[in-house]
Amino acid sequence: MRLISKSPVNRPRSRSGFTLVDVALATVILVVAAGGLIGTVISTSRLARTTEETADAYEAARAMTEQIHAMDATTVFTTFIGAPNFDVTGLGAVADDADGLVGEILFPSVGGELREDVVDASLGMPRDLNGDGAIDALNHADDYIILPITIRIRWMGVSGRQTADLSLLVQG
């Protein structure tokens, strides 16, 4: 006797679809791609603010440079050594900044004295500051003829700690 199937639908033996591994792999790839894209969006949105902060920092450094150049060169060191720090509108100080002022004027000095024997590559030191042909450990605050200065702006920006340096050489 031949059995006749009552069901009009022939059920296939194999089932189509995705396995768990397929889904997991696709999900991982999608998450990685989305993560990369989101990171790019976040970086781009920070870029404008970071650019503005950097421009403000260099503008402040440039203004300080012009102020120094406009002064009598022989008085620059004594004028700023006691109060070398200044503020910049729009920039916040880093957490460990003692006075909360983001700008700083750096001299080749030790303990308030202008010294030729200071080792600082950014200032081109050690070097002869008073033109006597020798590099010594004396205080040349009153007889320098050249004065290397670095104006440093250090702030806490949206991208973390940022620093901008501007170097100049004042000639007496």
The answer to whether residues 152 and 43 touch, using CB atoms and an 8 Å cutoff, is no
What is the rounded CA–CA span in Å between residue 78 and residue 86? 16
**Residue 27: count of CB within 10 angstroms of its CB:** 10
Residue 55 sits in the site that holds other proteins (CB under 8 A): yes
C-alpha pair distances (Å), 151 with each of 46, 100, 130: 26, 16, 21
Which residues, numbered 20-39, are part of the site for other proteins (CB under 8 A)? 30, 33-34, 37-38
Q: Which residues pair with 104 in a beta bridge?
A: 85, 152
Question: What x/- string results for residues 2 through 21 when contact with other proteins is judged by CB under 8 A?
Answer: ------xxx-x---------
Task: Write down how long the chain is.
Answer: 172
CB of 17 to other proteins, least distance (A): 11
What is the rounded CA–CA span in Å between residue 84 and residue 103? 8
Q: Is 66 helix (H, G, I), strand (E, B) or coil?
A: helix
CB of 64 to other proteins, least distance (A): 9
For other proteins, which is the closer residue by CB, 40 or 163? 40
Residue 102 tokens read as 């983001």
Stretch touching other proteins by CB under 8 A, among 66-74, 96-104, 118-126, 130-138 = 66-74
CB of 13 to other proteins, least distance (A): 12
The answer to whether residues 168 and 80 touch, using CB atoms and an 8 Å cutoff, is no
CB of 110 to other proteins, least distance (A): 29
For other proteins, which is the closer residue by CB, 37 or 83? 37
For other proteins, which is the closer residue by CB, 16 or 119? 16
Interface ranges with other proteins (CB under 8 A):
8-10, 12, 30, 33-34, 37-38, 40-41, 44-45, 47-48, 51-52, 55, 59, 63, 66-67, 69-71, 87, 89
